[in-house]
Amino acid sequence: MPIAIPADSVGLVQPQQLHFDQPLDLACGRRLDNYNLTIETYGTLNADRSNAILICHALSGNHHLAGYHSMDDRKPGWWDSAIGPGKVIDTGRYFVVGLNNLGGCHGSTGPNQINPDTHKPYGPDFPIVTVPDWVESQARLADRLGISQWAAVIGGSLGGMQALQWAIDFPQRLRHCIIIAAAAKLSAQNIAFNEVARQAITRDPQFYDGHYYAENAIPKTGLMLARMVGHITYLSDDGMREKFGRDINSGQLSFGLGPQFQIESYLQYQGERFSTAFDANTYLLMTKALDYFDPAADYGDSLSEAVSGTQCTFKVISFTTDWRFSPERSREIVDALIDARKPVSYAEIDSPQGHDAFLIPIPRYMEVFGACMQQVAAELPPVPESR
Amino acid sequence: MPIAIPADSVGLVQPQQLHFDQPLDLACGRRLDNYNLTIETYGTLNADRSNAILICHALSGNHHLAGYHSMDDRKPGWWDSAIGPGKVIDTGRYFVVGLNNLGGCHGSTGPNQINPDTHKPYGPDFPIVTVPDWVESQARLADRLGISQWAAVIGGSLGGMQALQWAIDFPQRLRHCIIIAAAAKLSAQNIAFNEVARQAITRDPQFYDGHYYAENAIPKTGLMLARMVGHITYLSDDGMREKFGRDINSGQLSFGLGPQFQIESYLQYQGERFSTAFDANTYLLMTKALDYFDPAADYGDSLSEAVSGTQCTFKVISFTTDWRFSPERSREIVDALIDARKPVSYAEIDSPQGHDAFLIPIPRYMEVFGACMQQVAAELPPVPESR
């Protein structure tokens, strides 16, 4: 049955693919001679090109931020709760840009795309990409779209890391930087969980050293395990307790080795669904981009030095029960900005939903986020009456 | 090179195997017609049999608590730091008993042992065993050893759960119950991590539905992943930061998919070592025993009701950075005991070592544990002069 599109949705949307043939030199020392970026945009770029907002995606996200690709879509884009007419990121006011990052698996050049040199999928030969590489490619995307300065660059989790990197690498090209549920670098525990995911994928016999496309195989078990581990770190202990507690599946104890508690079936379901929807090589690349993110490293391990040249205002938001990137990690960013005498505001949102909270339209979060966006909007020329 | 045995070690020790032929009815509804328990004892049972201490083991532990099995052993038993002449659990004063629990893989009847009915390993046909099942089997072990009442039952983690169950199921058979780094039941998050471990093991192609012995195979990858996930939950974020930080393996960034940071290599090493040292079917059983542990369930979900018939004194110890079973979980046990007007003392030990702290001779922990043991000792008849 076709869906009914809500009035505050961006509605039916279409991705576009843009080709770039200026070579991109990557942090790893390798070069992409040319590449494609798949993007989606909503709203209209105003006359002075001042109302563009870039949304950077997290580990498993992509360009499809909001709206529907067809009337049969069961779900809208991943941040539909925040993006649309009259929503926090108001598409009646802003020109909103989403892209699939390089190395992704949703249309941009990445492991599951054909390498023009070999006419085969890049597979494991796709180079390691880093947050600064992505930001460079996004700057070229801005050039292509005629956007010399973003009104704001916004992201949650790994997306927030890209927003921070934007402020450091292109200080004049954004006015506001909104960093949600992120960290200035991963902890050993964060890296450890990523490594479990990578081991699960690369040791799956269906992985074939990353050449599973040629074998018509998918390392489903590895991806499922990776997602299960990831999912536990996205939820909070409290949130899981509220949602699942120790509720059992069938109403009585089975005393078997299969799933007994609802949390087990839930995780298996999430893991299995993900295992056929996401590319394993991309998952590896995304986790490595997380591990390597460390903008302070080039500045003598001083984050306040790293942000000393930034020119935008910063808004940092964290969530109380997020233990993947806890409020403490957000405060490290805030402290560095304060040290560097940069304009920053910070909000810690009370929520039981852990890291996942950044995707959820929690009323207080939306109020705070809305206040941030009011400041972005205040600098824009008035919207013409006709709209 | 042979080791030099320290003066405060129990020295060279030998396990014993005891056979039990009274059938054991299990919580799952199945019955073990007969079974073996592998045990180790240190020290001497005194004339009035009042100085016996039972040590219950955790997920991957066994009967080998202290000392060495041969002069070539690289490591002593798993709790050697606490058990020995003059140590906190003083083998000059106590008769200390350790056993490998039913379902274990170190000699007691379990999946890797021969089923006398089929002359093949039990494998996946070994029944699910629960903490109350273990306590029942331990009570029979006490009968066999002529111990009508333990001076103390002591355990950390899953071992602490057995100690608590002892106090509930056999109130007259122990004088002191020492529960370290445990919880009265698992949280949804605890269960979730266990389920990731189980999925990793059971989906490993080398698992053969648990019949890997016949295939001369080992589900190494699954066990490795299970241990890696487990290990992350045993350490604290702080402890990992102190121990590994973001230190890199080689001194420079490799930009490859292999391990880059020391924490990754460490976890892989731990996982690989475990994968050939532990039995996969036993790992599954132990995690299920954890999941099912819930002594309050039989008492209308009231833990204070569950402990209302206990007659021993309780000592509960937790560790500040333990997030597997956090201090809050220990306080739930303490609160229930206070509600039920039972004698309990509680200590929270400041430590960066997470859940693993219970195995580490942290000075303050040993002081507190020592004070608990002084109380146990105060009730014993004096040790004869000759000793």
ipTM, interface predicted TM-score of the complex: 0.94
B84-104: pLDDT as tens digits: 999 999 999 999 999 999 999
The chain-wide mean pLDDT, for chain B, equals 96
Residue recorded with tokens 């040790």: B383
Q: Is B355 a catalytic residue?
A: yes
The span from the CA of B128 to the CA of A257, in Å, is: 8
Catalytic residue among A80, A90, A279, A322: A322
Concatenate the DSSP letters of all residues of B108-132 into one string: SSSTTSEETTTTEE-GGGSPP--HH
Q: Which residues face B24 on adjacent strands?
A: B32
Decide if B345 contacts B316 (C-beta within 8 A): yes
Question: Which of A325, A283, A188 has the alpha carbon at shortest distance from B266?
Answer: A188
Q: A167-181, A233-247, B314-328, B361-375 — which is least confidently predicted?
A: A233-247
Residues in chain A with CB shorter than 8 Å from the CB of B260 are: 288, 291-292
Distance between A256 CA and the closest CA of chain B, angstroms: 7
Residue A127, chain B, CB below 8 Å: the answer is yes
Dihedral angle computed from the Cα positions of residues B263, B266, B272 and B273, in that order, rounded to the nearest 10 degrees: -150
A61-96: pLDDT as tens digits: 999 999 999 999 989 999 999 999 999 999 999 999
The span from the CA of A211 to the CA of A218, in Å, is: 10
Q: Is A355 a catalytic residue?
A: yes
Q: Is the pLDDT of residue B17 over 50?
A: yes
**Helix or strand or coil: residue B52?**
strand
* Residues contacting residue B375 through CB under 8 Å, at least 6 positions apart: B176, B313
Residue A241, chain B, CB below 8 Å: the answer is yes
**Helix or strand or coil: residue B378?**
helix
Helix (H) and strand (E) counts for chain B? 10, 14
Residue B13, chain A, CB below 8 Å: the answer is no
The span from the CA of A168 to the CA of A355, in Å, is: 25
* Residues contacting residue B306 through CB under 8 Å, at least 6 positions apart: B168, B295, B296, B298, B299, B336
Q: Provide the pLDDT for residue A220.
A: 97
A3-16: pLDDT as tens digits: 789 999 999 999 99
Mean pLDDT of the B195-213 span: 97
* Residues contacting residue B322 through CB under 8 Å, at least 6 positions apart: B181, B236, B354, B355, B357, B358
Helix (H) or strand (E) holding B227: helix B220-234
**Binding-face residues of A in 157-186 toward B, CB within 8 A:** 185-186
Identify the DSSP state of B167. H
Q: Is the pLDDT of residue B352 over 50?
A: yes
What is the token pair recorded at A379?
A: 């600098």
**Helix or strand or coil: residue B53?**
strand
A368-378: pLDDT as tens digits: 999 999 999 99
Instruction: Label residue A387 by pLDDT band (50, 70, 90).
Output: very low
Using only C-alpha atoms, chain A has a radius of gyration, in whole angstroms, of 21
Helix (H) or strand (E) holding B365: helix B363-378
Q: Is the pLDDT of residue B336 over 50?
A: yes
Q: Is the pLDDT of residue B259 over 50?
A: yes
Q: Is the pLDDT of residue B387 over 60?
A: no
Instruction: Label residue B245 by pLDDT band (50, 70, 90).
Output: confident
Option in B124, B199, B263 nearest A192 (CB): B263
Decide if B218 contacts B280 (C-beta within 8 A): yes
User: What pTM value is reported for the model?
Assistant: 0.95
Q: CA separation (Å) from B208 to A29, B280, B338? A: 44, 11, 48
Q: Is the pLDDT of residue B384 over 80?
A: no
Residue B189, chain A, CB below 8 Å: the answer is yes
Q: Is the pLDDT of residue B303 over 50?
A: yes
Question: Is A7 buried (19+), middle (13-18) or exposed (0-12) by CB count in 10 A?
Answer: exposed
Q: Provide the pLDDT for residue A250.
A: 74
The span from the CA of B212 to the CA of A325, in Å, is: 40
What is the token pair recorded at B113?
A: 């042992």
Q: CA separation (Å) from A257 to A51, A106, A200, B299? A: 56, 37, 21, 25
Instruction: Label residue B386 by pLDDT band (50, 70, 90).
Output: low
Catalytic residue among B9, B60, B137, B157: B157
Q: Provide the pLDDT for residue A14.
A: 97
Decide if B101 contacts B135 (C-beta within 8 A): no
Estimate to the nearest angstrom the gap between the alpha carbon of A348 and the chain centroid.
20
Conformation bin of residue B103: beta by default, left when phi > 0, alpha when psi is -120 to 50: left
What is the token pair recorded at B358?
A: 């219970």
Instruction: Report the residue of B209, B246, B265, B291 to disrupt the A interface, i.e. the one with the largest count of A CBs within 10 Å.
Output: B246
Mean pLDDT of the A360-369 span: 97
Decide if A226 contacts A200 (C-beta within 8 A): yes
Conformation bin of residue A340: beta by default, left when phi > 0, alpha when psi is -120 to 50: alpha
Q: Is the pLDDT of residue A386 over 70?
A: no
B127-148: pLDDT as tens digits: 999 999 999 999 999 999 999 9
Check A257 against B292: CB less than 8 A apart.
Answer: no
Residue B242, chain A, CB below 8 Å: the answer is no
Q: Which residues face B32 on adjacent strands?
A: B24
- Residue scoring higher pLDDT (B383 or B126): B126
Question: Which of A100, A72, A67 has the alpha carbon at shortest distance from A83?
Answer: A67
Residue of B nearest to A326 (CA): B237
Whether the CA torsion B65, B66, B70, B71 is positive or negative: it is positive
Instruction: Label residue A385 by pLDDT band (50, 70, 90).
Output: low
The span from the CA of B6 to the CA of A136, in Å, is: 61
* Residues contacting residue A82 through CB under 8 Å, at least 6 positions apart: A88, A89, A361, A366, A369
* Residues contacting residue A169 through CB under 8 Å, at least 6 positions apart: A132, A135, A136, A139
